[in-house]
Structures are given as C-alpha cells and as structure tokens.
Structure 1
Amino acid sequence: MTAGTAVERYPAVHAPDSHPRRRTRWLTLVACAYAAVQLVLVVPRTGHALGWDESVYVSQLDPRTPAAYFSAPRSRGLSYLTAPVVALTDSVLALRLTLVVLSATALYCAYRTWRPLLGEATAALAALLFAGLWSAQLAGSQAMPNLWVALGAVAALGWFLRASREPRAHWWLAAILLGVTLVRLPDAGWLALPLLVTALCFRVRRHTVPFLLGGLALGATPWVVEAQLRFGGVTGRLHRSSATEGGMSWHINTGNAWRSLDGPQLCRPCHVPLTHPELTLWWLALPLLAAVTLLVAAHDRRTRPLTLTTLPLLCAFALSFPYLFLLSYSAPRFLLPAYALLSLPLAASAVRVLAAGRRTWPVTAAVVVAICLQLVGQAVLLPGISARVALVSERYRTAAHSLNSLGLRPPCLITGPGALPVAYAAGCASAELHGNNRSLTRGALLDRTRLMPAAVLVLRQHQRPRYARHWTRHRLPGTPWTAYTPR
C-alpha cells in the first residue's frame, strides 16, 4: 500500500454514525453547553462594553461612529462579521448574544466536518476539549479574530481530508479558507502551508491545490487592495505590520506564552508572574501528549490513516510558530487555533483508550480523571478572568459617559492613551499622535480642535502634553485618566 492511498481511508469503525436515528447527538450537546457557559458566566459581566481591539473592529462599519485607526497587521473579516448587527443596533449586549449563537454554531459545524473521519464520539470529545478552555469560552462572545481562525482551521482541515471522496468538499475548503484569510491573513498563510505541502507530496491530493490557492487569493484581495491604498504596497504593509508587532524576528516566546496562560489578556511587555501554576500543567504536557498521539497513530496506521494525526499536529505547529518564536509578547487567545487542532488527535487517542475498556482500566480511569480535572480547572479560572476583562472594558465606557456629560458629543474628537475604545463608546472620532496607532500630526490635531469639541486623555500619574498646557482639567472618576479640553 502506498502512502498516497493510506491517506484516503476512513476509520474502520463507524458505529456511532451507522444508525442516524439512534445516534446520540453528543456534538450538539457540546455546542449547546458552550453557548450556555457563555450566557451564564461571560455575557452577564462583559455584555455592556467593548474592549480595545473589539472597538477597532466593530467601529469600521458602524454607521453611527467614526472608524478607529486600523493598523497594518489587522484584517477586516471581523468587521464584516459584526456589520449586520451594528447596522441594526448600538447595543453591545445584542452584539454579544449574536456572537454567542454564531460561535456555538461554528463550533458545531467545524467539528461536525470531522464526524465522517473520526466518528461522533471523537468529534464531540475534541470539541469539548477545545470549548472547555476558558480562553475559548471568553472569546465566543468577543469581536476578536482568533476563535474564528481556530474553528475555520478545524473545518478547513476536515474538508481537505475529505476532498478525495467528496466533490463538494473542494468548494467548502476554498470557502472556509477564504473566510479565515478575511479574518486574519497571516494565520491563513501558516494554515495553508502544510496543506499545500501535503497536496503537492501526495498525487491524490493535488487537485486541491487550485482550491487552496483560490481561497487564499480571494480572501487576501481586500488586504492587498488596502495595502496599495494606505501603506504603499504589500511590502510596505508587511514592514509596518512587523514594526507594529515590535519587530517580528526570532524570539523564544514560549515563556511569555506560559506566563500569560491564565491572564492577563495581553502580556506586553510580559513581566507578569505566573498565576495558578498548578492549572498550567496541561499546557506543559502538550508536547508529550502530541508525541504519544503520534506513537498511538503509528501503531494503528493499518486501521486508521496516519494523516488524521500528523496533519492536525503539523497545522497546529505552523499556526503556533509565529506566536511562540517570532513575537516578543503574548496573549492567551493567540494559541486558540493550535489548541483547536490539537484537540482532534488528543480526542482520538483518548477514545481509543476508553474503548479498550476493562483491559486497560487504570489507564482509562487516568484519562477520565485528567479530562475532568482539566475542565474543572478551566471553569474555576473563567469567572475571575471574565470579571477582570469586564472591569477594563467598563472603564472605557465610564470615561466615555463622563466625557459626554462634559459636553463632548458627536461630532467630537478624543486623543491620548485609551482614546480608541473610549472614543467609540462616546460616539467620537479618535486619533493618536504617537505609537502603533499614530494617525494624526500635532498640527492637524489642533486644527480639528477648532472645528469640534475635543479632549485628550492623560494617565493620572503623567503630565499633560505641552499643546494642552492651557486646556481645562477634568477628573474622570472610576477611570485611570484625567481629561483636558480646550477652553
């Protein structure tokens, strides 16, 4: 048997899928539980204010608010996703609830793609392992790209593996890769790399190459057009993106990723101490678990294609590589795509152990206990982390309301640290004179202050900028800022 044909076989056992009427809808239950956790533990805390990055994405197509500065590394897929909701209402809660429904549906659809490959029980367990992470639960109702890349990667890889037997799989593969590229172009490139290499190495897979390249090209078109219009071309945008990310080059960033595993949401610079080290053991065990799954898959390669294990692992490594070795900062959400892909072979190995039954009952008991401890540990972390996220977002909304009460109403302008999310909440335009979001010169800023109400936000322990030395000072209770407005 050649390697090319070994890739094509489906698992020998399909008991969970052989009788649709008798099938337990485990995957449906996991998706519903995922939505329920968000509705109970996340949305009640975060449902009334948007974070920094969320404000940037949502503001782009909001008809009521000027768009915030859109930096070079970003892609506009999240703006397209949220546009229908913000066109109808300015309610953050409505946006959150919509995203809960969409994320739970996407979780179901992504892992359902693997049901013919792994079976119902394995696909459901994989979805549970991923959805059980606090970072996945928090991201479900957020307007952030990483969760959508993660679920898109799972679906794209599933359709890629099914493409040789199902003609429609090619089109699903292209469509999903297009969507991932719209949401985050660099991640789509890292995801497509091992798929393209596999397609070129196995003759039976080569017919997927046009669909892979077509999905990437169509999804990248808005990014390329914007690069030409705003950044002087693709090379210029890549250079600006690297500068915004702090200079993408070789960094051993695994320590930062580990320290930020249980918060904060953005570790830049990453000097925080490791919190709850006992709850990070699962992360340290991932390389060992990946090696075990490879050994198990190699042992079972006569009944189950080895590619079902190797490709998810390769794609997970590719998607995690820039965040572990090219950046100098970290955030828990960065590795969501890798976790989603790793859940597939880990679940497959766990189901094999559980199916062995009494013959290996100590190992079976250990697997069950490990899964339960992992889910409980993540559940313990979620309320505290979501409360901290809500506190930061609520400060933006509080500052916005205080500025509105001072007479700063649309059309208006806000600048200074924290200006982007505060301005969106206040209905104002935002501008920055320094840093990665620099969008205006000092002279242009002063010219605009003569045309509309304006304010500069300054952290309380800092001095006001020189151009605002004669402006009126205002305290903003409940926030870390002081505001200055022109007299």
Structure 2
Amino acid sequence: MTETSAVASGPQGQESPAGQGRSTAGGLGLPAAVAGVYTLVQLALVVRGSGLGWDETVYVSQVARDAEAAFFSAPRARGITYLVAPVTLLTSSVGALRVYLALLSGAGLLVALRVWRRLLPVPVLAVAGALFAGLWITVIYGPQAMPNLWAALGSLFAAGCFLRAARDPSDRAALAGLGGGMAFVALMRPSDALWLALPLGVAALVVPAWRRTALLLVLVAGTALGCGQWVVEAYTDFGGLLARLRRASEIQGHLGWHLAFDDQVRALDGRLLCRPCDVPWRRPVTAVWWFVLPLLTAGGALAAARLRRLPVVLLPALAALATAVPYLLLIGYAAPRFLLPTYALLSLPVAQCLTWICSAVRPRLLVVSVLAVALAGHLAVQYAVLAAVAARNRESRAAFGRVAAELARQGVRPPCVVSGTEAVRIAFRAGCASRQTGGHDRSITPAALVATARERPVAVVVAGKDAPPSYARSWRLQRLPDLPGRPGLRAYLAPSAQLGPGSRLSG
C-alpha cells in the first residue's frame, strides 16, 4: 500500500503511530485560547472608534434599517450582507456590528480549526490558528463587514471536511460539512469557491481511495448552491450570467494575464487597496514573512512526509495555491484581504513545519529560542502595521462625520441624495441615498438626478481641482471639511437644500 492510500484509508487517524489518534482527537483548549485572544485583540485594538469603509458601507446599506441601499455592482455577492443582517436590522450602531463580528470571527476560527482535529495534532492546529490570527490583515478584517475573512474560514473548514469525508466514507457529518462549507464560501465570494473546488475535485478524481461519487456530488452541489443567488441575480439585474461576468471583469480592470506579486508585497505595509499599485516600497520589513512563507510551506510538506501525513498537509497547500491564482496572476491590482483564504490554508503546513522543527531539530533549546525571537519580531511588525491602519480608520470615521454634519447644517437632510466623490460613505453617514451618474456605480442619469433635486435635497460632491458636472454648476457652492486624501472638498447643493438654523453660506 502506498503512503497516500494508507493515509486516505484510515478512518480515525490510523496512519499515525500508536497514540497519535488520541492526540489529534483530544481537547481543543489551545485552539480555543487562540480564538479567544484573536477576538480580544480585535475588541481592544480595532473595534473602538472605527467606521465603515466604502465596500462595507455598500454591503451594510443593503440591510440597514435607517439607510437606502447603495448600488450593488456586478462583482459583489450578498453573503456578508446576510451575515450582518441580524444586527443591522436591529440597530444602526457601528460599534454593535463590530463587536458582533469580532465575536463571530473568533468562533468561526475555532470551528474551522476544530474540523481538523482528527487529521492533525492539536498543537499544530493551535500554532496554525495563531499564525493566521496574528496577521494584521486577519485582525483588521475580523470585525469588518467584508467577505474575504469569511471565505478564508469557510475554505479552511471545507478543506478539512473534504479530507475527513475522503478518508472515512462513514463520516456523514464531514460530508455534510463539505457541502455546507463550499456553499458558505460561494455565498461570500463565488470565484473563491470555484478556485477552491478545483483542487479538491482533482484530488477526488486522482487519489484512488478518495474516488467516490458522493464526494464529488456534494462538492459540486455545495458550490452550485452557494453560487445560485449570484447567478439568479445575474439574470434579474444584469441581463444574464455572461453579461454579469463581463461587467464584473470590466470593473476589476479586465481580468487577464497580470502579474500582481509585487503589488501584493507593496500592499502589506498597510494599504487596504493598492489600485493602481505604482507606489514606492518604503517598508520591506513588512513583507519578510511573505517571502519566508513558501519555504516554510515546503518544510511543512517534508515534515508531513516524515510523519506519514503528507496528503493531510499537501492538500491544503495545493488548495491555497489555487485560491491565490486569480489575485496573483489575473488581476492588475492588489488588496491584502484577497489572499486571506490562501493564508488560512497555508497556516497548516507552516505550523506543521514549525512544530516539527521544535520537536526534532537539536539543540532544541537553541532552535526554540531562535524561532521565538523570529516570531516575536514578526508579531511586532504586524502590530505596528495594525496600529497604523486602525488609527487611519478612526481618523476617517471622524472626518466623514464632520462632512455629514456640515451637509446637514446646509439642508441636506433625509430624504436626500448625495452624488460624486465618496458619495457612498458620505450619504450613509448623512442618512441619504447615494446615486452616481457615471462610472462603475452608475445608477441614475443626470436628467433623473436633476428631477430628483426638485423634490429632495441633492448634493454633488467634488474634490481638489475637479469641476462640477454641468447640471450642478449653478447650484449653491458649499465648502466641506477635508477627507483623508481628498483635500479641497466642496458640495454643489440643489435649491431644495434649505439652510438649517444657525447655518451660513461659504464659497
């Protein structure tokens, strides 16, 4: 029997030496502690004073009780909107939403690790969880209403369920978990689910012991179920599936051959979106871990081969590579959050490598000390980036609050409409609807906006040296407080926007 088939055939970790089954199936105190610390770090460093980003505002506005829904463009999926709905339908508090997501993401991390306990020792799972949760990207997006972290946790969960179901045909819970996990990922980000399903499907066909019809059917059915809403919406709102795919590709810069490795590296110093990513690489230290990652992954595979659990570590590594393909090779810009599924899956082979080094390489004390110092330095860098990103978020929230308050003083009060620069976030803070007459989020014609201005207060916001659209040039000009990266902010206010008590004109 080959090593692969031996590993594939054991239902309860029988590929391991005597006693390994007890180790892998034991308690999850360490991973639970990691998940708890992850949640506490979010609450302490990210939640306080944070505001909604642009993408978050789009997702949240779909189910917010006190706001009109922002335009929902072709690439977006509604999974994260469904996830936040239980809170946003009850309260407009951003703080409550943040706490809810922080608690939920900690629980999600624990659930995603728990499914692996029959496959890998608990210490490996604890280290994997700590490595993934220790990234500034993972912490910053834990309490955010964004789909990428949830796609990552769902991918980790689904890959574990796949391996358990493949190794043990009687594990019906794992088979159901595979279908649910794939549907969850697809509901969050359909493209991520398709790239994840590819290596899992190939593995189910290539490995003889895993070649079962039920496994493939559940994999395909779960993915299709999760993509169903996106496909139906393509026909109801975008003119068909191909039309939506074309529009999504256009909005993302026309998908094609784009090498984005250098863009992703530059973005690691705290840029949430690097588009275009032609900025200088000022802090290379923030990307050291990124270059070490492939080496530790390869080391994890070698260690797993020695421990006779290579397929258990190799499959998530291959799945990680597949999920990285579109963001490293097909999109011409970068956002660190895009690779969260890749990092979640790679945390397992990396953790296997580190735990094996600590136990097998001599002198052990020296090896452990060197690794501890390296990890401490890594975490210090992650914390520095996290602190800077969180501070910018708080500054941004305060700035948007000032803009919304000034618009209210100038008569832009609900029911109202905001168009132009940063319309989505300004409108949400002001209690208005956001409408754009051009660009990717075009949702109204200039004539229709002018007609709306006869009935509702309308503000067209421009920044810097940008000129107002022709239909708004005769409207009242009002200077606004600057936004980060948007100096010279001003609004052109329709006659329907009446000055509030104590307000004054400024031009």
Q: Do these two structures clear the TM 0.5 threshold for a shared fold by scoring above it?
A: yes
1:172 aligns to what?
177
Higher relative contact order (CA 8 A, sep 6+): 1
Structure 2 residue 114 is the aligned partner of structure 1 residue 122: no
Structure 2 residue 108 is the aligned partner of structure 1 residue 106: yes
Structure 2 residue 262 is the aligned partner of structure 1 residue 261: no
In the superposition, relative to structure 1, how do residues 70 and 294 fare at CA in structure 2: closer, same or farther (>3 Å)? same
2:283 aligns to what?
276
**SS of equivalent to 2:270:** coil
2:499 aligns to what?
none
In the superposition, relative to structure 1, how do residues 214 and 20 fare at CA in structure 2: closer, same or farther (>3 Å)? closer
Using the alignment, how far apart are the partners of 2:37 and 2:135 within structure 1? 13
Using the alignment, how far apart are the partners of 1:119 and 1:13 within structure 2? 12
1:24 deviates by 6.9
2:141 aligns to what?
139
1:121 deviates by 0.8
1:371 deviates by 2.3
**132-141 or 156-165, larger mean C-alpha shift:** 156-165
1:262 deviates by 1.3
Q: Counterparts in 2 of 1:65-464, with a 5 A limit?
A: 65-163=67-165, 164-165=167-168, 166-205=171-210, 206=212, 207-298=214-305, 300=306, 303-356=307-360, 358-464=362-468
In the superposition, relative to structure 1, how do residues 253 and 21 fare at CA in structure 2: closer, same or farther (>3 Å)? closer
1:146 deviates by 0.7
Using structure 2 for the length normalisation, give the TM-score.
Answer: 0.91
CA contact (8 A) 1:7 1:306 kept: no
CA contact (8 A) 1:8 1:305 kept: no
**471-480 or 228-237, larger mean C-alpha shift:** 471-480
Using the alignment, how far apart are the partners of 2:87 and 2:27 within structure 1? 36
Q: Kindly provide the amino acid, as one letter, of the partner of residue 117 in structure 1.
A: L
Using the alignment, how far apart are the partners of 2:417 and 2:460 within structure 1? 9
Using structure 1 for the length normalisation, give the TM-score.
Answer: 0.95
CA contact (8 A) 1:160 1:170 kept: yes
Give a deviation string over 1:445-468, Cα, whole Å, max 9, x none: 111111211100100332222111
CA contact (8 A) 1:150 1:337 kept: yes
2:502 aligns to what?
none
Using the alignment, how far apart are the partners of 2:28 and 2:65 within structure 1? 45
Q: Kindly provide the amino acid, as one letter, of the partner of residue 154 in structure 2.
A: G
CA contact (8 A) 1:16 1:121 kept: no
In the superposition, relative to structure 1, how do residues 129 and 477 fare at CA in structure 2: closer, same or farther (>3 Å)? same
CA contact (8 A) 1:100 1:141 kept: yes
Q: Kindly provide the amino acid, as one letter, of the partner of residue 341 in structure 2.
A: P
1:324 deviates by 0.6
Using the alignment, how far apart are the partners of 1:328 and 1:399 within structure 2? 33
**SS of equivalent to 2:119:** helix
Using the alignment, how far apart are the partners of 1:66 and 1:123 within structure 2? 43
2:500 aligns to what?
none
Using the alignment, how far apart are the partners of 1:198 and 1:12 within structure 2? 21
Q: Kindly provide the amino acid, as one letter, of the partner of residue 91 in structure 2.
A: T
1:4 aligns to what?
5
CA contact (8 A) 2:61 2:428 kept: yes
In the superposition, relative to structure 1, how do residues 280 and 15 fare at CA in structure 2: closer, same or farther (>3 Å)? farther
Q: Kindly provide the amino acid, as one letter, of the partner of residue 492 in structure 2.
A: Y
2:498 aligns to what?
none
Using the alignment, how far apart are the partners of 1:374 and 1:15 within structure 2? 34
In the superposition, relative to structure 1, how do residues 171 and 22 fare at CA in structure 2: closer, same or farther (>3 Å)? closer
**386-395 or 468-477, larger mean C-alpha shift:** 386-395
Using the alignment, how far apart are the partners of 1:161 and 1:22 within structure 2? 18
**134-143 or 461-470, larger mean C-alpha shift:** 461-470
**SS of equivalent to 1:415:** strand
1:14 deviates by 8.1
The count of corresponding residues between Structure 1 and Structure 2 is 482
**173-182 or 289-298, larger mean C-alpha shift:** 289-298
Using the alignment, how far apart are the partners of 2:228 and 2:37 within structure 1? 37
CA contact (8 A) 2:418 2:435 kept: yes
Using the alignment, how far apart are the partners of 2:311 and 2:373 within structure 1? 28
Using the alignment, how far apart are the partners of 1:359 and 1:213 within structure 2? 48
1:61 deviates by 1.5
Say which of 39, 42, 48 aligns to 1:44.
48
CA contact (8 A) 2:436 2:443 kept: yes
Using the alignment, how far apart are the partners of 1:4 and 1:441 within structure 2? 62
Using the alignment, how far apart are the partners of 1:195 and 1:267 within structure 2? 31
The alignment's C-alpha RMSD in Å is: 2.0
Using the alignment, how far apart are the partners of 2:157 and 2:482 within structure 1? 44
CA contact (8 A) 1:180 1:188 kept: yes
Using the alignment, how far apart are the partners of 1:56 and 1:317 within structure 2? 30
1:77 deviates by 0.2
Using the alignment, how far apart are the partners of 1:252 and 1:18 within structure 2? 45
Q: Kindly provide the amino acid, as one letter, of the partner of residue 145 in structure 1.
A: P
Give a deviation string over 1:311-366, Cα, whole Å, max 9, x none: 11111111111111111110111111111111001101111111226555544433
Using the alignment, how far apart are the partners of 1:24 and 1:91 within structure 2? 34
Q: Kindly provide the amino acid, as one letter, of the partner of residue 332 in structure 1.
A: P
Using the alignment, how far apart are the partners of 1:18 and 1:6 within structure 2? 16
**341-350 or 24-33, larger mean C-alpha shift:** 24-33
